Structures are given as structure tokens and as C-alpha cells.
Amino acid sequence: MQRLQLQSLVYSLFVLLLVSCKSYKLTDVKPVQDSEKTVENLYFSSGEDYVYKCQMDIYKNHVSGILIIKKLNETTHRVAMTSDFGNKLIDFEISENDFKLNYVLPDLDKKIVINFLENDFRELLKKQHPVNESFENSNSKIYSSKAGNKTYYLFFNKENGLLKEIVYTKNNKEKIDFTFEAKKHIFADSLNLQHKDFKINIKLIQITETEQN
């Protein structure tokens, strides 16, 4: 059953390449003067293991398992995912400029699958974002950060200062929306990664110490 799900997932990714995406524009915000030169996503900055239940939905395909993210050094993270039955699905190391595949299940060993995962986690784990413009609305401070043809919009909660959303765009087209729920700056209790051009959704939910034992 698991193998059929993974094969169906790979097929769906090929189909997804035909879909286009929408332009992105901030609405109901006002520009502000801000002294911040750089803002950071600190959710994966600790040396502790980040352990999550992982649910991936690609069109009508659903794959679930356990995902572990570990910071190896200041530039590199290791990401590993196992199935609900404990079978390793994929294991890789990633930084802003490098990607090393340690293991991938043969059913998932397709270039399109690897590229999706590499791109998604590189954007998720990007820590520093130089600020180009600052905005605000009633709930958030918003910072835009440009890097070549990419623009990131980072939304910070005004009340607690926690990062709650990152919108990643490329060529002014909205690509991925990352939303977070957190109680502290270095750990997201949950994360929802939603592609805007493809029907792909990845949800991570923190596994507590009790659940791991």
C-alpha cells in the first residue's frame, strides 16, 4: 500500500508541472520607516532535534510519517523522514548553496521529487533576510527581502514579535506560503507549507516528549 502511494505521489508531481501561479501583492498595509536591516527565521536555529509528525498531500495522494530536522552547523541542516512504520524514506543535508542526498527510497528517487524537497526546505530553513522595505497592518509588522528574482515577505506578530508567516515569491509570482504557530522564537509548534502554483501541502506538527517515548 505504501509503495503504491509513493508511486502515485511521483506521478502527480509530473502532472503538476502544467499548472501556473498567480502574482502576489501586499494588500491593506501601509509602508513604515523601520531601523531593522535584517530579520531572521530562528525556528530551526537550535542545536536540538526538531521532531514533527509530517503529513504531505499532493492532489489526492497522502503520505505521512516522522520528520526530523537537525542543525549541523551555522550553515547546514540535516533533514530525515521515515514512514509511520519506521522505514526511512529520505535523508539529506542542505544549506543555502549545497545539497547532499544521503539516502532516498527507490520509489522516491526521481529528480522532480528531490528538486521539490530541496527547494522547499532550502526556503524554509533560510535564516537571514536582508530588509528592503517595511510595512504594517493592524496585526503584523511585515518586511520584504529581495534576492535576485525572489522576494520574501515575512510577517511578525505585533504583540509577541514571533514570526507567523513567510510568503515566498519568484518573478513576482507567489510560490509558497509558510505559516507557523509558536510560543517561542526558536521552535515552531506547527508549520503549514502550502504551494500556490501546485496542490501541494506539507504540515508539520510537533511531537512532544511523551509522544516520542
CB–CB of 207/52 below 8 Å? Answer: yes
| Cβ-Cβ contacts under 8 Å for 184 (sequence gap 6 or more) | 162
CA-based torsion, 107, 118, 64, 211: positive or negative = positive
Q: Residue 117: in which H helix or E strand, if any? A: helix 111-125
pLDDT digits (tens, 9 = 90+) for 156-212: 999 999 999 999 999 999 999 999 999 999 999 999 999 988 778 999 999 964 344
* CATH C-level class of 2-212: mainly beta
Helices (H) and strands (E) in the chain, counts: 3, 15
pLDDT of residue 160: 95
Instruction: Check whether 20 has a pLDDT greater than 80.
Output: no
- How far apart, in Å, are the Cα atoms of 194 and each of 27, 72, 151? 20, 26, 17
Model pTM score: 0.86
Q: Could you tell me the pLDDT band of residue 3, with boundaries at 50, 70 and 90?
A: low
DSSP 8-state symbol, 41: -
Nearest to 203 by CA among 16, 62, 85: 62
Over pLDDT 70: what percentage of the chain? Answer: 86
Each domain of the chain, given as residue ranges in start order, spans 2-212
Instruction: Check whether 12 has a pLDDT greater than 60.
Output: no
C-alpha cell recorded at residue 78 = 540535516
Over pLDDT 90: what percentage of the chain? Answer: 67
pLDDT digits (tens, 9 = 90+) for 113-125: 888 889 999 999 9
Instruction: Check whether 87 has a pLDDT greater than 50.
Output: yes
What is the overall mean pLDDT for the chain?
Answer: 87
Nearest to 124 by CA among 69, 58, 49: 69
For the chain, the first-to-last Cα distance in angstroms comes to: 27
Instruction: Count other Cβ atoms within 10 Å, centred on residue 170.
Output: 17
